[in-house]
Structure 1
Amino acid sequence: MDMHIWFAYVVTAVVFSLAPGSGMVNSVSNGISYGTRKSLAAVAGLQIGLAIHIVLVGVGIGALVAQSASVFTVIKWFGAGYLIWLGVQKWRDTSTLTTHHADKALPASAMMRKATLINLTNPKSVVFLVALFPQFIDPASEQLTQFLFLGVTTVVIDSIVMVGYTSLAAQMGRFIRSDKVMSKLNKLFGSMFIFCGALLATTKA
C-alpha cells in the first residue's frame, strides 16, 4: 500500500475515533469512575466490537447490513435500546468514586462485555467502514493484505484515542470527590448514552 494513501486513511481514522459517540462516552465515564488501569478492559472491549465489525465488512456481511433495511433496522433498534438502557442505569447510579474504586467496582470481564456490546450494536460503524474501506483499497493489488493493514490501523488508532479519553477523564476524577458532583456526572453521562441511543434510532437505513 502506498504510504500517501495510508497516511490519508490514518487522518480519516483519527477523525472517526475522535468524533463523539457511544465509545467515547463509555471511555470517559469509566475513566472518571474507575481510573485508567481498571478501565483498560473496557477499552479492549470496544476494540473487540470494532474488530468484529471490521471482519464482518471483510467477509461481505457489512455490505448486506448497509444495503438491507430490515437487517439494519434490527441491529439499529437493538443497539439503540441497549444504549438507552445503559443511560437509564447511569441516571439511577448513586455510587461515588470511592465506591467505584472499592470492591463494588465492576469486574474487568463485565466491563469488557459491556463495552463490546456498545460497539457491536452500533450499525453506524459497519456502514462507515463499508463506505470507507473501498476508497483506500487498490483492486489491482492483493486485497487481503490491504484489508488487514487498514483493519489493524483502525483498531490501533481507536485504542490510542480511547485510552487518551480514559486517561484524561481519570485525571479529572482526582478532583471530583463530592457525592453531589458525582450524581450530576452520572446523570450527564446517562443523558449522553440516551442521546446516542436516540441518535441511532433516528438513523436511516
Structure 2
Amino acid sequence: MMPEFILTSLLIIAAPGTGALYTIANGIDGGVRRSLFAALGCTLGIIPHMMAAMSGVAVLLQTSTAIFQFLKYLGVAYLFYMAWSIFRDRNMLAVHHQKSERKSNLQIIISAIFINLLNPKLSIFFLSFLPQFIRAEDAGSLGYLLQLSLIFMALTFVVFACYGIFAAFFRRHLIANTRVQNWLRRGFAIAFAGLAIQLAFVR
C-alpha cells in the first residue's frame, strides 16, 4: 500500500499549482536559497489542512456551503493579490536589484503558508485522498494517518525544492534582459490570476 501511496502522492504534488508556481517564481527571482524557503513555506501550509482532516473539520467544509465559500473566496482574493503584486513589482526578476528591496526569508515562508492555507480544496483533498490508503488493521489509527500525512509533506518539499532549484539553475539565462524579465513577470501574474479564477469556480 505504501508504494502506491508514494507514487500517487508524487503525481498529485508534481501537477502544477499555486505552491509550485510560487516556488519557481522565487527560484527565478532569487536563486536556490529563496526557492527552498518558498518550498518550506508551502510544505508548512499543508499542516492546517492535515489537522483539519484528522479532526473532522474537513467534513464541515464539505457539508457547510457558507464556510466553504467564505474560505474559497478568501483564497481567491489572496491569489489575485499575489497576481497584482507580481505584476506591479518591476524589480521582481531583476538580477541586480538591491538586497534591501527583497522579501526576507520569513516573509517568503509566510506568503507560501498563506497560499496553501487559503485553499479549502486541500482539506477536502486530505479527507478524500488519505482514507483510500488506510489499511483495515489501521482503521481509526491517527498514528498511521499522521505517518501518511508526514510522508506527503516530505514529498511536497522535495518536489517543490527540485522545481525551485531547476528554476534557479536557469535563472540568468531566463532573465538576461529586461524584455524577458517583463514577459516572465506578466506570465506569473497571469498564472496566479488564472488559478484564482479556477478556484472561484470550485463547488
The TM-score with structure 2 as length reference comes to: 0.94
2:157 equivalent in structure 1 = 159
- Equivalent residues in 2 for 1:49-64 (5 A)? 49-64=45-60
Letter in 2 for 1:19: A
1:144 equivalent in structure 2 = 142
Contact 2:75 2:119 in 1 (8 A): yes
Q: Secondary structure at the match of 2:95?
A: helix
Number of residue pairs matched by the alignment? 200
For 1:107 and 1:140, how far apart are their aligned partners in 2? 46
Letter in 2 for 1:184: W
Q: Which one of 15, 18, 21 corresponds to residue 19 of structure 1?
A: 15
1:40 equivalent in structure 2 = 36
More displaced, 108-117 or 120-129? 120-129
Q: Secondary structure at the match of 2:102?
A: coil
More displaced, 139-148 or 106-115? 139-148
Q: Which one of 151, 166, 169 corresponds to residue 167 of structure 2?
A: 169
Unaligned 5+ segments in structure 2 are none
Contact 1:34 1:101 in 2 (8 A): no
Contact 2:24 2:35 in 1 (8 A): no
The TM-score with structure 1 as length reference comes to: 0.93
- Equivalent residues in 2 for 1:1-205 (5 A)? 5-95=1-91, 96-99=93-96, 102-141=99-138, 143-175=141-173, 176-204=175-203
Cα 1:98–1:202 shift into 2, 3 Å: same
Structure 1 runs (4+) greater than 3 angstroms displaced: none
Provide Cα deviations, 1:93-126, integer angstroms capped at 9, x if missing partner: 2114324573321101110110000000111111
Cα 1:67–1:185 shift into 2, 3 Å: same
Kindly state the Cα deviation for residue 13 of structure 1 after the two structures are TM-superposed. 0.7
Contact 2:35 2:165 in 1 (8 A): no
Q: Secondary structure at the match of 2:90?
A: coil
For 2:75 and 2:10, how far apart are their aligned partners in 1? 23
More displaced, 60-69 or 158-167? 60-69
